């Protein structure tokens, strides 16, 4: 586990995708809103810049596709763990086309690509929380049991537990990993309930950090060999109270990224990239570990 934890948050590549103009009008959203595409693109630029320069990742940018208004949210199209990538079957029919480009990109990166072909299965990557030790898959409007089963079959090494998502779009709409063994979670009741379920299902021990705003719990944790814990979070402007909580994380470098426009179409920070560790492969297996607690 030490190795898993040591590797947790280590990435070499990121896959992102441009924002089509159609996002403004056609992208799915849970509540009506006006999206300023120009502003959204500006935010996205900034986001990519952080991945590239601050995190030092090799960023692969897929071109936007006007016929796929939600295509910027690449996370939903693939679940990557180790050297294996599962191409999903997104729950929203309008988004199924997004996986094609994603698949090609992952193959180009020499990943071991597996496709979810079962027509009864749906899975959005946003419903998949990988803790480093196991998977939690939110059963939501977008993800069903069969989708979770296929994921479990692809990532055989790990326990895959299902968690009902009662509110919000995805499981990760209210939680994310804030570090090895640290779950960031929103304070809403559904979020807390989901956390309880995860807690019950898990053989592992996690810390949790509760932030007042559910969406603020969606952060990107990166562990850089030279800089240590880095956390990409929403800006103080959006969630001032939650930021105060995050600031309690010691030894963390907090990096704010504005995500205002994208959140109008339910886009959180993790949604906009697929992070890959090309070096990971099997290296996680090699170091003997010491932290297994049971």
Binding-site positions for substrate read 28, 70, 75-76, 95, 142, 265
Provide the greatest CA pair distance for the chain: 52
Distance CA 17, CA 85 (A): 17
Q: Say if CB 262 and CB 284 are below 8 A apart.
A: no
Selected binder of another protein within 31, 34, 117, 293 (CB under 8 A): 293
Residue 160 found at the interface with another protein (CB under 8 A): yes
> Cβ 294 to another protein, closest distance in Å?
4
Distance CA 55, CA 12 (A): 9
Residue 1 found at the interface with another protein (CB under 8 A): yes
> Cβ 140 to another protein, closest distance in Å?
15
Tokens of 224: 């850089």
Selected binder of another protein within 195, 243, 274, 276 (CB under 8 A): 195
Give the three-state DSSP class for 142: coil
- Per-residue binder mask for another protein (CB under 8 A), 4-33, x = binder: x-----------------------------
Q: Is the Cβ of residue 35 or residue 183 nearer to another protein in the bound state?
A: 183
Window contacting another protein (CB under 8 A); options: 14-22, 122-130, 154-162, 258-266: 154-162
Tokens of 70: 């939600």
Tokens of 279: 């070096």
Give Cα 34 distance to the centre of its chain: 24
Window contacting another protein (CB under 8 A); options: 32-40, 66-74, 216-224, 242-250: 242-250
Give Cα 153 distance to the centre of its chain: 20
DSSP state of 51: I
Distance CA 72, CA 39 (A): 14
Terminal Cα-to-Cα distance of the chain (whole angstroms): 11
Tokens of 10: 């280590």
- Per-residue binder mask for another protein (CB under 8 A), 79-118, x = binder: ---xxx---------------------------x------
Catalytic residues: 170, 271
What residues make contact with another protein under the rule CB under 8 A? 1, 4, 82-84, 112, 133-134, 137, 145, 148-149, 152-153, 155-162, 179, 181-183, 195-196, 198-210, 245, 248-251, 281-282, 285-286, 288-290, 292-294
């Amino acid at each position: 586990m030490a190795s898993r934890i040591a590797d947790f948050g280590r990435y070499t590549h990121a896959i992102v995708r441009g924002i089509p103009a159609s996002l403004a009008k056609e992208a799915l959203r849970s509540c009506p809103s006006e999206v300023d595409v120009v502003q959204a693109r500006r935010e996205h630029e900034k986001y990519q810049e952080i991945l590239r320069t601050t995190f030092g990742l090799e960023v692969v940018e897929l071109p936007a596709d006007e016929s796929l208004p939600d295509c910027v949210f690449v996370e939903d199209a693939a679940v990557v763990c180790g050297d294996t990538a599962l191409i999903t079957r997104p729950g929203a029919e309008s988004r199924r086309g997004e996986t094609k480009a994603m698949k090609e990109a992952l193959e180009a990166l020499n990943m071991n690509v597996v496709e979810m072909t079962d027509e009864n299965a749906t899975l959005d990557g946003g419903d998949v929380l990988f803790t480093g030790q196991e998977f939690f898959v939110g059963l939501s409007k977008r993800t069903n049991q069969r989708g979770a089963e296929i994921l479990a079959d692809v990532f055989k090494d790990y326990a895959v537990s299902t968690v009902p998502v009662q509110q919000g779009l995805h499981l990760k709409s209210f939680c994310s990993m804030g570090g090895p063994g640290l779950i960031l979670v929103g304070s809403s009741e559904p979020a807390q309930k989901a956390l309880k379920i995860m807690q019950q299902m898990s053989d592992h021990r996690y810390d949790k950090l509760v932030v007042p705003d559910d969406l603020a719990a969606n952060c990107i944790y990166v562990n850089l060999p030279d800089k240590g814990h880095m956390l990409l979070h929403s800006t103080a402007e959006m969630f001032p109270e939650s930021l105060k909580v995050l600031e309690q994380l010691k030894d963390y470098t907090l990096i704010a990224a504005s995500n205002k426009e994208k959140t109008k179409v339910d886009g959180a920070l993790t949604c906009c990239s697929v992070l890959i560790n090309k070096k990971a492969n099997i290296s996680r297996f090699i170091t003997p570990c010491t932290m297994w607690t049971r």
